[in-house]
Structure 1
Amino acid sequence: MNKWKQTLLQNRIEILASENLNRLYTDVISEDALKFVATLHREFEGQRRRLMEDRIRVQASIVDSLDFVLVQDPKTFEIRQDPHWTITHEIPAVIADRKVDIVCLDVANRDALNACVKSGACGVQVDFDDGYAPTWENGLRAQKNIYDVVQGGQQQQGKDALLIMRPRSWNLIEMHMLVDGQPVSGGLFDYGLFMYLNAKQLIKTNRGPFFYIPKLENYQEAQLWNRIFMFTEQHLGLPTKSIKCIVLIENILAAYQMEEIIYYLRDYIVALNTGRWDYIFSFIKKFSDSPDHVFPNKSSLGLDQEFLQAYYHLLVKTSHRRGCLATGGMAPQYPTANQSSLCEKDKLAVFNGKSIEAAMGFDGGLVAHPSSVDACRKAFDKVIGQNRLNNLQTSSNNKKKNSNSNSSNNRLLGYSPIEAKKYLDQLIVMPKGIVTEQDVRGCVYVLYNYISHWIKGQGAVPMNGVVEDLATAEINRALLWNWIKNNVELNESTDKKVTIQLILNLIKHQFFYNNNNNNDFNNDPITKILLTLITSQSFIDFMPTILYPLITNIQINSNL
């Protein structure tokens, strides 16, 4: 038994993966780095598990009450009503410009990460969540790529994009690392390695550490991240409040607690960010047992829908009221297989979409490809110019100085309690639209192809000029499940409905299109997975619950 493994075992840490692979990444999974992850696990895993149990209880209460109404938490009334508080820090200049971040959709690919860093974007969302399939090898390669960029010392301030890490969400685990016999949280594993390996160098060069925090469902989960940040700074000897984060509001429950989320992360947060597809997915999931919540086709779920307009406006108003920035979603346009850059039509689509967000008050947005960066930046430059942050911080400072005038404080940041109440009421207005057979076919196409790539270790997949990731796959899956459960009629005919048989026929067509030399449809594993996901009696919370075991490569040393 080698010394590395023996030392880990003495600390009740086990790595259940290929020793040959592990040897290639000893600088990433060093004894001390893994000990730090284990320390995080022992300190916070119990709290994480309780929060996951709370999610189950909340979901059960929604399912058990068909007339369940989402409301703000009465226990935090005073936080929401107090007009005086804002985040406790000025947003650091290095992360103040959020006009365009690019999502690195293949962090395990060195060239892809470097292209994003050199793209001209403000930041790179280093995505270990929606655009990532968490194989053990992907995780090691991704952490190594980040480490080399940070430690290489060749990043140019003001030119190269910041690395902003997005760890896995709270519900996911890392099966290849056990601490005291338990698998560690995927998010804590990603976060812990990143911080141990890179935090001090990022602080030294004034480039971090910065995070995108995904899929929070309530302020209690924000409190957990706050405790983790504080603990990390103390344990690693970092300056207090040196960590900064952007929180993704991509769950309908979190939309009712945006102020509380900011409040409990007020020492660290710089922005709230939208995640439209994850947000709609959460809407379908939370009300999965309600016959009153039948959703139309995906193309109908745009910003002309009242519930999405309310979500966007409320996020902007809330962020600015409390001294934060607000950033929009990701433009999914992506070059087709025979292109290296977007065509002018697609660049214009990015520009137009981001111009709408800028007009709504957002301070920036995200893109999926380097050739989208200029279009996104120009959209925000045209609408908001260079001074949005200065205006935000000046208003926030004036607000603190004039704390006796509540109405004037709210006006400084364009916040109206009456308007906010209107948006809250609109958050649960059901979208309008139809469902056609072509819509069903489109969902099957995306879901079938995405699953087939994900289980091979690819978490983001270009399809038909856009990039599909876990968020878009989940919305396709949720819509199919929703339509089957509610026996939805297709728009073309009053006597044709969305049934399992219809979807099975479409899956079969997709199978033969993808596998023209393979006639063994009855044993197709992708079909079996897809049917499991869309025909379950109760809605399956997240696709990785089913898919993750298929990409683990557990190897147990016979000497143990």
Structure 2
Amino acid sequence: MAAAQEQLHTGPAEVLADGGAYAAILTPAALAFLGRLHRRFEASRQRLLRERRQRQATWDAGALPDFRADTAAIRASDWSVAPIPAALCDRRVEITGPVERKMIINALNSGAKVFMADFEDSSAPTFANQLDGQVNLRDAVDGTIAFRSPEGKTYQLGDDPAVLVVRPRGWHLHDRFFSVDGASVSGALVDFGLFVFHNALALHQRDRGPYFYLPKLEAMEEAALWEDVMSAAEAELQLPRGTMKATVLIETLPAAFQMDEILHALRRRIVGLNCGRWDYIFSYLKTLRGHRDRLLPERGQVGMTVPFLKGYSELLIKTCHRRGAFAMGGMAAQIPIKGDEAANEAALDKVRADKLREVKAGHDGTWVAHPALVPVAQAIFDEYMPTPNQLDKLRQDVQVGREQLLAAPNGTITRAGFDNNVEVCLRYTAAWLDGLGCVPIHHLMEDAATAEIARAQLWQWLHHGDLEFPDHAPIDFALFDQALAAHTHRLRQSQHPGAARADAAAALISRMTHADELGDFLTLPAYEQLA
């Protein structure tokens, strides 16, 4: 791999601003390790991405996803995943957030069982964000992490921190700051490689992994690539095979048809599957973008009780527990509403209802986005799950087939729902372009998944034509352009995160919404504009 300075597309001033800390991460040995991973696995990654595009072309032409005929034996046969480490046997509440220093300390001290440190959807991958994240996690692993706020408040680790699990970026993302032989390195390999190179041995010596959440997988072959990468890394770092453990987010529609297969591909190291429900809704929209009969109503009407989401979550529980793996529930994105006790309590009631549904269905744990929600979710799981997990809840009553997984729910598109999609997509994108990937909007902590749902819905509603609001007014591009202009003006004049990037965000959203084809990911073109 080239020297670190030669890999950076940003100016040397940014590199030198924290040169000592970054240099300790970007050592020649660490860069050489990344180079070996890239040369060994990049061709496979590119092949798998081509296969994604080929599958999508068949769905755009009228086909629909289905369970694979060639893997029927895997689904039918009896097998189990490897034993789960003691540190991960009780995951009743997990907190997630970006790899920002104060966030890491607060999350590890939150009382949650697990903290998922996120290099993916809640992080905007500037060079500084990604490298600061590696520095912060190194300091968290060795126990020295501390933070002093501008107001003088000091933050440091408590005596019983949560178990650390790291989420690298997905296979589809490259990293423009690192290159090998003139080609960009996979963002997933950058995040994974730097973390394990510096921390795997220390974590292994404490029986703490390293542990990972793997995002955006669409097929068992993509899971198998992670198996190969982790096995290679273990061999290089002289760790026993299977030391690194993984939980896979089932957050794409194609993956819902291959849950057994994904577990099987990673059976030596997988701990469970997670209902990444917001990205799953986005994937439903994207995968079925060519099918007018699969349009979804506005985002607020697509909850976990609609048939295609209820079926997906219950099938995940049944599949995981049959194989001895955990079935993790989804995210509660609410954040405290200060100054309005009634509104705050109403929001907490929604969290309680969602977590009660999850624990009664058989989930082994759940996600929250804010430390204040940890005791709320834990109280529900403590009451209804007195044991560390619910692996004995096999859910043999669940019978979910292709039609339920693909069934579009009834509902409407209101003016308020349309307008909210425009606003949320704009505000999130502007903040992301300004380097912030985790954004509070209307008392919810939003990451890229919400913006993806919003812009995918707008594209579908506008491109399939002849759609109306309940008052029969047409849903058309004139209305979209007007709403986008109005929200751009308001954002530009506001104190919201990303206000300075309002115009750039609006231009990107307008271009992607007017395009003839729904773009795969908002973050791909946005990345080229990221500072």
SS in 2 for 1:326: strand
Shift of 1:387: 4.5
Q: Report what 2:507 is aligned to.
A: 528
Q: Deviations along 1:425-464, whole A, 9 cap, x unmatched? A: 3101111100011111110110111111000000111011
Task: Identify the residue that residue 75 of structure 1 maps to in structure 2.
Answer: 70
Q: Does 1:540 align with 2:531?
A: no
1:506 paired with 2:483, answer yes
Work out the CA distance in 2 between the residues paired with 1:325 and 1:526.
39
Distance in 2 (alpha carbons) for counterparts of 1:53 and 1:158: 47
After superposition, give the CA deviation of every residue in 1:52-108 in whole Å (9 maximum; x if it has no partner): 0001111111112x2x132211111111111x2011x2111111111111011x31x
CA–CA distance in structure 1, aligned partners of residues 309 and 293 of structure 2? 18
Give the TM-score of the pair, scaled to structure 2. 0.92
Q: Which residue of 2 aligns with 1:119?
A: 110
| Structure 1 residue aligned with 2:235 | 234
The aligned residue for residue 262 of structure 2 is 261
Q: How many Å separate the matches in 2 of 1:517 and 1:428?
A: 40
Tell me if structure 1 keeps the 8 A contact 2:5–2:12.
Answer: no
User: What is the number of equivalent residue pairs in this alignment?
Assistant: 511
Match of 1:458 in 2: 436
Contact 1:326/1:363 (<8 A) preserved: yes
Q: Output the amino acid matched with 2:435.
A: G
Change (3 A) 1:529 1:339: farther
In structure 2, distance between residues paired with 1:516 and 1:210? 43
**CA displacement, residues 220-278 of structure 1 (integer Å, 9 cap, x when unaligned):** 10110111111111111012211111100011110000000000100111110011121
- In the TM superposition, residue 184 of structure 1 has moved relative to its aligned partner by 0.2
Instruction: Return closer, same or farther for 1:14/1:489 CA change in 2, 3 Å cut-off.
Output: closer
Q: Residues of 2 paired with 1:513 and 1:325: CA distance?
A: 45
Give the root-mean-square deviation of aligned CA atoms: 2.4
Distance 2:169 2:339 in 1: 32
Q: Deviation of residue 47 (structure 1)? A: 0.3
Higher mean C-alpha displacement, 484-493 vs 316-325? 484-493
Q: What residue number does 1:407 align with?
A: none
3-state secondary structure, aligned to 2:528 = helix
Which residue of the other structure, out of 548, 551, 554, is the alignment partner of 2:530? Answer: 551
Greater shift in the superposed pair: 145-154 or 318-327? 145-154
Give yes or no for contact 2:214–2:248 (8 Å, CA) kept in 1.
yes
The alignment's TM-score, normalised by the length of structure 1, stands at: 0.87
SS at match of 2:367: strand
Residue 76 to residue 507, structure 1, CA distance change in 2 (3 Å): same
Corresponding residue for residue 216 of structure 1: 217
Task: After TM superposition, list the pairs within 5 Å mapping 1:94-133 onto structure 2.
Answer: 94-104=87-97, 106-107=98-99, 109-133=100-124
TM superposition shift of 1:488:
4.8
Displacement of 1:211 = 0.3
> Which digits, 9 at most, give the CA deviation of each residue in 1:288-345, with x for residues without a partner?
12222221111110122111110010000000001001011110001357799x9444
Match of 1:515 in 2: 492
Contact 1:310 1:424 in 2 (8 A): no
2-structure distance, mates of 1:160, 1:50: 40
Specify the code of the residue in structure 1 equivalent to 2:406. Answer: I
In structure 2, relative to structure 1, the CA distance for the partners of 1:530 and 1:16 (3 Å cut) is: closer
Residue in 1 that maps onto 2:35: 38
Structure 2 stretches lacking a partner, 5+ long: 146-155
Does the 8 Å contact 1:216/1:248 carry over to 2? yes
Q: Is the 8 A contact 1:130 1:459 kept in 2?
A: yes
Residue identity in the other structure for 1:324: A
Do the aligned partners of residues 207 and 344 (structure 1) sit closer, same or farther apart at CA in structure 2, a change above 3 Å counting? farther
Q: In the alignment, is the contact (CA less than 8 A) between 1:333 and 1:369 conserved in 2?
A: yes
1:98-497, aligned counterparts within 5 Å?
A: 98-104=91-97, 106-107=98-99, 109-152=100-143, 159-336=160-337, 343-388=344-389, 392=391, 413-415=394-396, 419-420=398-399, 422-494=400-472, 496-497=473-474
Q: Is the 8 A contact 2:91 2:388 kept in 1?
A: no
Structure 1 residue 515: deviation in Å? 2.7
Per-residue CA distance 1:116-156 (angstroms, 9 max, x = gap): 01001111111111111000010111110001111236898
Counterpart secondary structure, 2:309: helix
Aligned-partner Cα distance in 2 for 1:550–1:212: 27
Secondary structure class of the residue paired with 1:292: helix
Residues 304 and 14 of structure 1: is their aligned pair in 2 closer, same or farther, counting only changes over 3 Å? closer
**Aligned AA (2:452):** E
Cα distance in structure 1, aligned partners of 2:157 and 2:204 = 15
Query: Does 2:94 align with 1:93?
Result: no
Report the AA paired with residue 449 of structure 1. Answer: R
Corresponding residue for residue 152 of structure 2: none
SS at match of 2:197: helix
User: What amino acid is aligned across from residue 90 of structure 1 in structure 2?
Assistant: P
Cα distance between partner residues in 2 of 1:158 and 1:531: 49
Q: CA deviation at 1:280?
A: 1.3
Residue 336 of structure 1 contacts residue 462 of structure 1 at CA under 8 Å; is this kept in 2? no
Residue type at the aligned position of 2:270: I
